[in-house]
Chains A and B, each alone.
Chain A
Amino acid sequence: MGRLIVTRLGLMLPTFVVMTAITFAVAHLAPGDPLQLSDDGQASAAAVDAARRELGLDRPLTARYVTWLSRLVRLDLGRSVVDRAPVTGRIGEALPRTVLVSGLALLLSVLCSIALGAFLAARQRSAAARFFSGALALASGVPSFWVAVLALLLLATPRGLELFPLQGLSSGPGAGVVDLAWHLVLPVFCLAWPTTALLTRFVREGVSTALEQDFVRAARARGIDERRVLLRHALPNAMVPVVTVIGLHLPHLVAGSVVIERVFGISGMGLLAFEAIGTRDYPVVMGVATVMAAVTLVSMLVTDVAAAFVDPRIRLPGSSS
Chain B
Amino acid sequence: MSTRAGASVIALWLVVALSADFIASDLPIAVRVDGETFVLPFWVRPARLQTETQVSLRGKAEWMVGTLIGTGPLQTLATSGATRTDPLPWSPDERHWLGTDDIGRDVLARLVHGARVTLLIALGVVLLSSLLGVTLGALAGWKGGVVDLLLSRALEIASTFPTIFFLIVVVAALRTPSVGAVMLVLALTRWPEAARLMRAEVLKLKEIDFVLAARALGASDARILVRHLVPNALAPVIVSSTFAVGSAVLLESALSFLGLGVAPPTASWGELLQQAHRALVTPGAWWLAVFPGLAIASLVLATQAVGKGLERRFDGRR
Q: Which A residues form the contact surface with B (CB < 8 A)?
A: 15, 19, 23, 26-27, 29-32, 137-138, 140-143, 145-146, 149-150, 152-153, 157-160, 166, 248, 251-252, 255, 257-259, 262-263, 270, 273-274, 277-278, 285, 288-289, 292-293, 296, 299-300
Contacts and interface: CB of A to CB of B under 8 A. Distances in A.
Interface in B197-233: none
18 contacts: A30-B172, A31-B175, A142-B297, A146-B289, A146-B293, A149-B280, A153-B286, A251-B160, A251-B161, A255-B162, A258-B164, A259-B254, A259-B258, A274-B168, A277-B168, A285-B169, A288-B165, A296-B160
Contacts of A159: 283-284
B169 A27 contact: yes
B258 A149 contact: no
Contact of A273 (B160, B168, B297): B168
Given A31-B175, A248-B160, A278-B172, A158 B283 contact: yes
B293 to A, nearest CB: 4
Contacts of B257: 145, 259, 262
B283 A30 contact: no
A255 B161 CA distance: 9
Contacts of B304: 137, 140-141
B277 A263 contact: yes
Contacts, number: 122
Main secondary structure of the interface of B (DSSP, over half): helix
A263 B270 CA distance: 13
A292 B175 contact: no
B250 interface: yes
Contact of B246 (A15, A138, A141, A146): A141
Contacts of A153: 276, 280, 283, 286, 289
Nearest to A27: B169
- A15, A142, A146: residue with the most chain B Cβ atoms closer than 10 Å: A146
Contacts of A252: 162
Contacts of A158: 283
Nearest to B296: A143
B47 interface: no
Contacts of B284: 157, 159
Contact of B283 (A19, A160, A262): A160
B62 interface: no
Interface of B: 1, 153, 156-157, 159-162, 164-166, 168-170, 172-175, 246, 250, 253-254, 257-258, 273, 276-277, 280, 283-284, 286, 289-290, 292-293, 296-297, 300-301, 304
A232 B43 CA distance: 67
Contacts of B169: 23, 26-27, 30, 277, 285, 289
Nearest to A263: B277
B153 to A, nearest CB: 7
A114 B234 CA distance: 33
B258 A31 contact: no
Given A248-B160, A251-B162, A29 B173 contact: yes
Which 7 pairs show the lowest CB-CB distances between chains A and B?
Answer: A30-B173, A146-B293, A157-B283, A141-B301, A255-B162, A141-B300, A159-B284
Contacts of B254: 143, 145, 259
B173 A31 contact: yes
A95 to B, nearest CB: 14
Contacts of A248: 159-160
B246 to A, nearest CB: 7
A199 to B, nearest CB: 17
A233 B95 CA distance: 62
B6 to A, nearest CB: 10
B194 to A, nearest CB: 17
Contact of B296 (A146, A150, A157, A251): A146
Contacts of A27: 169, 173
- A15, A31, A141: residue with the most chain B Cβ atoms closer than 10 Å: A141
A48 B62 CA distance: 64
A153 to B, nearest CB: 6
A300 B170 CA distance: 24
Nearest to A19: B157
Nearest to A252: B162
Contact of A149 (B1, B172, B273): B273
Contacts of B159: 248
- B1, B153, B162, B296: residue with the most chain A Cβ atoms closer than 10 Å: B162
Given A30-B172, A300-B156, 6 more contacts: A23-B166, A143-B293, A145-B273, A153-B289, A255-B164, A258-B258
Nearest to A269: B165
Contact of B161 (A149, A278, A292): A292
A149 B277 contact: yes
A257 B254 CA distance: 10
A302 to B, nearest CB: 11
B280 A157 contact: yes
A15 B153 contact: yes
B294 to A, nearest CB: 9
A19 B170 CA distance: 14
Contact of B293 (A32, A142, A263, A273): A142
Contacts of B293: 142-143, 146, 149-150
Nearest to A257: B164
B23 to A, nearest CB: 23
B3 to A, nearest CB: 13
B183 to A, nearest CB: 17
A15 B158 CA distance: 11
Contacts of B164: 255, 257-259, 270
Contact of B157 (A32, A262, A296): A296
